[in-house]
């Protein structure tokens, strides 16, 4: 979260920003970053910055895979877990059980910032 805040504030310093209203981030499901933890860290770490009191919107990127054998491409299947907030992706081809390449699901990026300018 600190890197996201640093990147956002660095970009906002290039403009005549009165205040930021909303920061939208994209978080891949493989990062295992929890929404509650991100929201808490955001609130604490944005104090006394242009992002203070802005809304953090978290969008999720599902795990997408491509099979190295049969060329299947799509969303990874998951193991459901009753004990944790996150599901566990199965990193094997659902068609032929071969190894896969991860094509999406590892993101941690800023999508947009809604601001008020002078």
Give the domain CATH number at 21. Answer: 3.30.2320.80
Collapsed DSSP state (helix, strand, coil) of residue 118: coil
Q: What is the pLDDT along the chain (118 residues), one digit of tens a residue?
A: 999 999 999 999 999 999 999 999 999 999 988 999 999 999 999 999 999 999 999 999 999 999 999 999 999 998 876 665 567 889 999 999 999 999 999 999 999 999 998 7
- Residue numbers of the domain that contains 98: 2-117
What is the pLDDT at residue 6?
Answer: 96
What is the pLDDT at residue 83?
Answer: 60
What is the pLDDT at residue 84?
Answer: 57
Q: Indicate the pairing of strand 64-67 with strand 100-104.
A: antiparallel
Total domains in the chain come to 1
**Would you list the DSSP string of 42-103?**
HHHHTTTSTTTTPEEEEEEE--EEEESSS--EEEPPEE--SSSSS-EE--S-TTT---EEEE
What is the pLDDT at residue 107?
Answer: 95
- The answer to whether 84 and 68 have CB atoms below 8 angstroms apart is no
Token pair belonging to 16: 């005549």
Distance CA 51, CA 92 (A): 40
């Amino acid at each position: 979260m600190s890197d996201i805040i640093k990147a956002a504030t660095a970009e906002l310093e290039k403009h005549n920003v009165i205040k930021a209203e909303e920061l939208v981030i994209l978080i891949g499901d493989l990062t295992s970053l929890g929404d509650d933890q991100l929201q808490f860290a955001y609130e604490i770490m944005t104090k006394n910055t242009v992002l203070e009191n802005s809304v953090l919107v978290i969008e999720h990127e599902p795990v997408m895979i491509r099979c190295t054998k049969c060329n299947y491409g799509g969303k990874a299947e998951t193991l459901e877990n009753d004990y944790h907030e996150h599901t566990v992706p199965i990193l094997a081809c659902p068609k032929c059980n071969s190894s896969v390449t991860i094509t999406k699901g590892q993101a941690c990026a800023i999508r947009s910032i809604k601001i008020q300018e002078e």
